[in-house]
Amino acid sequence: MATIGIVGASGYAGAELLRLVVGHPELELVFATGDRQAGAAIAGLYPNLAGVVGAKPFDAWDPILAEGVDLVFCALPHGASSDLMPELRKRAGRVVDLAADFRLHDAALYPQWYGEDHPHPELLAEFAYGLPELFRDEVRAATAVAAPGCYPTTAALALAPFLTAGLVERTGIIVDAASGVSGAGRDKFPFCGTDENFAAYGLLDHRHTPEMEQALGAQLLFTPHLAPMNRGILATCYARPTDPTSTEALMEVLHEAYRGERFVVVLDEPPSTKATQGSNACHVTVRYDQRTGWVVALAALDNLVKGAAGQAVQCANLLLDMDEATGLSVAGMYP
């Protein structure tokens, strides 16, 4: 058994990590912090976990908690993990960060996209980008991983096979994606502001844009949308082909790229968010429109699982030399 800690367990991604970790056959949870909830029962905030956490309370963060722990997950808001990472790297054997603090390789991008300098640029090179389907060898060889979020994961898995094969142009790509409200965190959006509403935000300058471009090695225009649902994300991506092609040829590229990948499912029909709910799976498909000359690649996933906690556990399995799929499901919940 590997010992595990979670810093920031009281948010949605942290709670999903708790659900996955306590159900994992090879992981032992030793601490779970939630500073605003410190001392309160975990099951009081998340009653769905009552059967597995009992009366266990949230811990208050203290660096000594991480001493000698095999792996620590950080599920904090952006900017929060940067401050504690130097100490955490000294104490814990391995770290998986779910925030964007260490995803970008180039420190110069943080002022442009996040509005401030990175406080510890010397640590950026230590972090592998935690999208195993595209960067598995780097993740397996690392001791620190920055797990990508839901938008970059969805876009990257939809587009990467075609960019890698040189089948679409590396400029002029458009990514339209819609996420459920839980992607914004536990406290940000009230019911009345999101129910029966569908809105675009972050126009032209959303902070995940450079992360997508880094993962894909391509230029793109990204427009996120907030959808009135709890979970899920659907990305519709448009690219220009480099040569004449067809839907059949592009589908074959998808099948070949993800053959043997347990968490990417290639579908003939358009993917839906509901079908991925609760699973670590990403569903993908593609079309070529002869009339307009566009390649349209689509992907759907659960933003709290493959887009956050599930992906982090997938990376942890690799870091701990376990089977990559341990403790994770490909089957979603339906209805």
Claim to verify: residue 136 and residue 30 sit in the same structural domain: yes
95 — pLDDT class (breaks 50, 70, 90): very high
Name the least confident of 75-89, 150-164, 191-205: 191-205
Q: Is residue 324 part of a domain?
A: no
Nearest to 303 by CA among 182, 170, 123: 182
Claim to verify: residue 164 and residue 279 sit in the same structural domain: yes
Claim to verify: residue 31 and residue 112 sit in the same structural domain: yes
Do 240 and 293 contact (CB within 8 A), yes or no? Answer: yes
State both tokens at 328: 């994770």
Alpha-carbon distance 178 to 160, whole Å?
19
Which pLDDT belongs to residue 192?
A: 61
Claim to verify: residue 264 and residue 211 sit in the same structural domain: yes
Q: Is residue 326 part of a domain?
A: no
Claim to verify: residue 157 and residue 288 sit in the same structural domain: yes
Claim to verify: residue 207 and residue 140 sit in the same structural domain: no
Which pLDDT belongs to residue 198?
A: 85
Which pLDDT belongs to residue 196?
A: 83
Q: Is residue 334 part of a domain?
A: no
Domain boundaries, position 170: 150-303
Claim to verify: residue 135 and residue 221 sit in the same structural domain: no
Residues 236-284: pLDDT tens digits? 999 999 999 999 999 999 999 999 999 999 999 999 999 999 999 999 9
Claim to verify: residue 159 and residue 191 sit in the same structural domain: yes
Claim to verify: residue 13 and residue 38 sit in the same structural domain: yes
Nearest to 312 by CA among 103, 59, 51: 103
CATH of the domain at 112: 3.40.50.720
| Tally of CB atoms within 10 A around 124 | 18
Do 197 and 228 contact (CB within 8 A), yes or no? Answer: yes
Count how many domains the chain has: 2
Do 6 and 76 contact (CB within 8 A), yes or no? Answer: no
Alpha-carbon distance 74 to 85, whole Å?
9
212 — pLDDT class (breaks 50, 70, 90): very high
Q: In what order do the strands lie in the sheet with 294-301?
A: 199-200, 220-226, 173-179, 233-239, 294-301, 282-289, 264-266
Do 56 and 41 contact (CB within 8 A), yes or no? Answer: yes
Claim to verify: residue 258 and residue 221 sit in the same structural domain: yes
pLDDT at residue 193 above 80? no
The mean pLDDT of the chain is 94
Q: In what order do the strands lie in the sheet with 94-97?
A: 27-32, 2-7, 71-74, 94-97, 144-146, 127-129
Residues 9-63: pLDDT tens digits? 999 999 999 999 999 999 999 999 998 899 999 999 999 999 999 899 999 999 9
Which pLDDT belongs to residue 123?
A: 96
Q: Is residue 331 part of a domain?
A: no
Q: Is residue 127 part of a domain?
A: yes
Residues taking part in catalysis: 150
Strand ranges (E), the chain = 2-7, 27-32, 71-74, 94-97, 127-129, 144-146, 173-179, 199-200, 220-226, 233-239, 264-266, 282-289, 294-301
Claim to verify: residue 170 and residue 181 sit in the same structural domain: yes
Q: Is residue 110 part of a domain?
A: yes
Alpha-carbon distance 154 to 177, whole Å?
9
pLDDT at residue 304 above 70? yes
pLDDT at residue 90 above 80? yes
Q: Is residue 196 part of a domain?
A: yes
Claim to verify: residue 142 and residue 170 sit in the same structural domain: no
Q: Is residue 223 part of a domain?
A: yes
CATH of the domain at 239: 3.30.360.10
Which pLDDT belongs to residue 187?
A: 59
Is pTM, for the whole model, over 0.75?
yes
